[in-house]
Chain A
Amino acid sequence: MCVFAPSLSAEAIPVKNASLMPLWSPQAQFAGYYVALDKGIYARHGINLKILRAGPGCSPVEALQKGSADFVIIWLTTALQHRSADTPLVNLAQIIQRSSMMLISKKTAGIKTIADMDGKKVGLWEGDVSIPPRTLFARQHIKIREIRQSHTVNLFLRGGIDVTSAMWFNEYHTILNSGIDPEELNIIFLRDQGMNFIEDGLYTMEKTLDKDPALAAAFVDASLEGWRYAFDHPDEALDIVIKYMREAHLPANRMHQKWMLERMQDLMTPVHPKGALGQLVEQDYDAVGRTMQKSGLIQSYPDYKAFVWRDDAGKK
């Protein structure tokens, strides 16, 4: 695809403006998009992309509904909830292929299984991101003492909570680099508990897609190309990510971003034999939909073909 596309697009495709709101402020979790932007990959695909400010207080779904963002990165669970609430959003590509959410406790707490968490103080994030652990606790009929946790891990480190929610690519590493060794922790991946609530995906509104499907296609292609470039040139990718972090006045720890980029590569690698980069596998989709429906989080979920704009996102 890439051999002729750049020259063709440069000539034939008129430059279109588009915007993307990631799930959070700049970090290697979104390396592919910042790399694609910085290396002119979006431009080569005829897109003048603006990556919008994200992070605390910014809701990608709201931005999508209001039309302030053309494309967003949200979790599959979030997307299904909103789709169920009649927000006509469409999955353009599934970035993360395996859930990276985990529940971490210190070995000294003696929590080895989900059942052990009964009655314990468990840190949960506010909002959609707490859906998977809540669903898991509900399914196992466990009552936890829920504590809303912030974006630092200090409450957990100081012993304010027994269990903390963490993303493998982010908080887990922060805990390690606060001086706690992996051997001192008990780790439970939600995906190992039958809760493979695969996270980051690229979404847009149906009407945006209908208006300009070529733009969406170009956006997905350029984004995935950005990811491939980032994995092929990790040092350069980290430079780019850290540059955007500095611009956003965020502390930028290169080792942390390196860890994040490497874990993103692990998480994006297709799990299914027929899977491809960016592809939402129907089986994964159904599993998430079914679990959510059973847990009463959604009434119903749409047919795979209706939810996924293109089931061959990465194959082209």
Chain B
Amino acid sequence: MPGKNSIVIKLVLVITFFSTVIFAVTLGYNYYRSRVILQNELESNARNLAMSLVNRVETQLTAVTKVTEGLARSLETGNYNEQQLLALLRRTVENNPEIYGSFAAFEPYAFSPNLHLYAPYYYRKNGKITFEGLENSYIDFPYPYWDWYQIPRELGKLEWSEPYFDEGAGNIVMSTCSLPFYEEINGKKQLKGIVGADVSLDALTELISSVKILKTGYAALLSRNAMILAHPLKDAIMNETFFSIAEARNDPSLRALGKKMIRGETGFVHYTSLVGITSWMYYTPIPSSGWTLAVVFPEAELLENVRKLSITMAAMGLVGLVLLTLAVIYIARTIIKPLQLLTTATDEIASGNFDVALPTVSSNDEVGILTHDFQLMELSLKEYIRNLTETTAAKERIQSELKVATHIQESLLPRLFPPFPNHTEFDIYASMVPAKEVGGDFYDFFFIDDNNLLFLIADVSDKGVPAALYMMVAKTLLKSEGQRLGEPDKILRSVNNILAADNESCMFTTVFCAILDVNTGTVRFANAGHNPPLIIDSEGVRYITMKPGLMLGAMTDIVYKTESIALKPGETLFLYTDGVTEARNRNEEMYGEQRLLEAMQRAPKEKVTEMIHYISAEVTRHADNAPQSDDITMLAIKITKLVSPLPDPEGAEYRLINSAVNNVNIEREGRSA
């Protein structure tokens, strides 16, 4: 099975991943926008709700304020006796259902010089309007020291008190609206007392507590000290302030919020509500009492619909993603399956089975085309392999034939050294390394009678099989004519006439042919266009200068000339073909005659075998692994001893040799010049 890199897995991963990302981003943005829209709507809704509540509370408070102010004006303008005062207070409570109780509390001795404190109070006790003398109600703490008295007295203006439990008189939690009233004594305004009206906090907060906002949202009321007056946290009412809760939570931001509220600011904030729920709150002051009304919307409930919608969308998206993934898997599989079959088939082909059937693909898509191309390729491969097999077989046959030819050619040349163990007068050694399987060079030596050894070296133009065949002919002719004629010039002339007579392929051969009289050391030789041999004697190493002669096979009736030299014991004649001097290295530099001459000077001269091996090694070294372009053939013959040497070195033959050597030198000087 394919691994992690399978196209199916890649496709599924990439498509699913990007689809998921796109979907998640879309969903997230949708949620975020919905939230913002809801929040904007919420602010105006919250403001409307809060303002309507404020108005309703404010209406009640304003009514009470008006009544209290009216009361003060009445007491300042009218001259009320005790009975009238009591009736006024009683009427005030009777006529104003929102008022719980009403009082007129006098400064010490202000009502009557005989009376220290006087503060008549009418209030609703169990539904009945009841009278109480506040001067008697607070035994431990006389009324002039209560906030509702002291604060308007000191400030000289109307005040709504912090809600308090009126222990001793009203015995409920109330807030008192009170203001000072004055009398004029000698044109001077003097404080006479404080009038006031109580409202029941319960009656006020009932309205606020009854407001239902979503499931757990609520409206709350805070006093000027941020005391909690109405709140779902019942224990906190009249007990905790916004600030004590902030302290308990160790939340400076909540304290900062509380400070804004008691300063009478209006705001819309996102915060953690006092019941510990992340919520939105709109707060605004109630103008007459300085209290703060707040409406709280729990965020989770507000966003519930958005959340539900988002969850539904997420679920739909998830199902969609699963379906999409399945579809991708299906499509990928249908694409991949023929590819997998094709892969199996090509694996077979790769292992050499060209007859495997490729899957049939009916579709005309890329895979179909690919399969079709594969079929064509398979056919071409089959055809090619068949051709290759045939060609290889043919080549192998030729190779083996050539190998046989090589053997035959090798066997044609004398290869047994020393060839004549019973002739101790001379040493002879030769080697032929063909450039191809078969070569055009050859050498030969044989006795034409008891004392005369014919030795020759030849180089057929061209190489390979044609040269080898030509060489066979030349060699055979040279041998038969050599034995018949016994003189080099005659031999060459005769062979030339035979070869040139019927030379349609226009092939030639150079030959250096020599005959050694083993008794005297005299060498008679003729040359048919071959390289001049080297002579190594007591005077050193030099090339022999010879009369030029045309190569064999070019044209008939060529006359060759026999020359002769006399070799003394220890002297050597070295024959070679142009494969030696024209051996090239990689820079196309030829080995050359000069190098050969110098190499020969260094070469060991004791044994001809070693000499030839040394020259061979030198040539190989010069070629430096460059491919051998021509056959390399060498032959060396060395006189060891002579039965009847020539008597006088002053003899004519010697001069001939000398003149030959001098001619070489002259010729070489001329060439170099």
Measured CB to CB, the residues of A under 8 A from B are: 56-58, 121, 126, 147-150, 152, 154-155, 157-161, 176-179, 181, 251-256
Contact = CB atoms under 8 A, between A and B. Distances in A.
Contact of B154 (A155, A176, A252): A155
Given A253-B239, A255-B248, A160 B259 contact: no
A9 B227 CA distance: 48
Interface residues of B, number: 33
B243 A179 contact: yes
Q: What are the 3 tightest A-B residue pairs by CB atom distance, in nearest-first order? A: A57-B140, A160-B154, A178-B225
Given A160-B154, A160-B155, 12 more contacts: A56-B141, A149-B145, A154-B151, A157-B225, A158-B155, A158-B224, A177-B244, A178-B226, A179-B242, A179-B258, A251-B239, A252-B239
B517 to A, nearest CB: 143
Contact of B150 (A56, A155, A157, A181): A155
B146 interface: yes
B146 A150 contact: yes
Contacts of A255: 240, 244-245, 247-248
Given A160-B155, A179-B259, A252-B239, A154 B226 contact: no
A26 to B, nearest CB: 15
29 contacts: A56-B140, A57-B139, A121-B154, A147-B150, A147-B154, A148-B145, A150-B141, A150-B147, A150-B150, A152-B147, A152-B164, A154-B161, A155-B147, A158-B151, A158-B159, A159-B155, A160-B151, A160-B153, A161-B154, A177-B241, A177-B243, A177-B244, A177-B247, A179-B226, A179-B243, A179-B259, A179-B262, A253-B240, A253-B244
Nearest to B248: A255
A149 B153 CA distance: 13
Contacts of B139: 57
Contacts of A253: 239-241, 244
A147 B226 CA distance: 25
A121 B150 CA distance: 13
B162 interface: yes
A177 B141 CA distance: 25
Contacts of A176: 243
Interface string B223-259: 0111100000000001111111101100000010011
A160 B243 contact: no
Interface in B151-168: 151, 153-155, 159, 161-162, 164
Nearest to A59: B140
Interface of B: 139-141, 145-147, 150-151, 153-155, 159, 161-162, 164, 224-227, 238-245, 247-248, 255, 258-259, 262
Contacts of B245: 255
A147 B155 CA distance: 13
A155 B151 CA distance: 6
Nearest to B164: A152
Contacts of B239: 251-253
B243 A178 contact: yes
A254 B145 contact: no
B667 to A, nearest CB: 128
A179 B145 contact: no
A112 to B, nearest CB: 23
A29 to B, nearest CB: 17
B166 to A, nearest CB: 13
B150 A160 contact: yes
Contacts of B140: 56-58
Contacts of B224: 157-158
A252 to B, nearest CB: 7
A160 B150 CA distance: 8
Nearest to A184: B259
Contact of A179 (B153, B154, B161, B225): B225
Contacts of B238: 251
A126 B259 CA distance: 32
A115 to B, nearest CB: 23
A254 B241 contact: no
Nearest to B147: A154
Contacts of B147: 150, 152, 154-155
Contacts of B243: 176-179
A252 B238 CA distance: 9
Contacts of A126: 145
A87 to B, nearest CB: 22
Contacts of A58: 140
A61 B224 CA distance: 37
A256 B244 contact: yes
Contacts of A147: 150, 154
B117 to A, nearest CB: 14
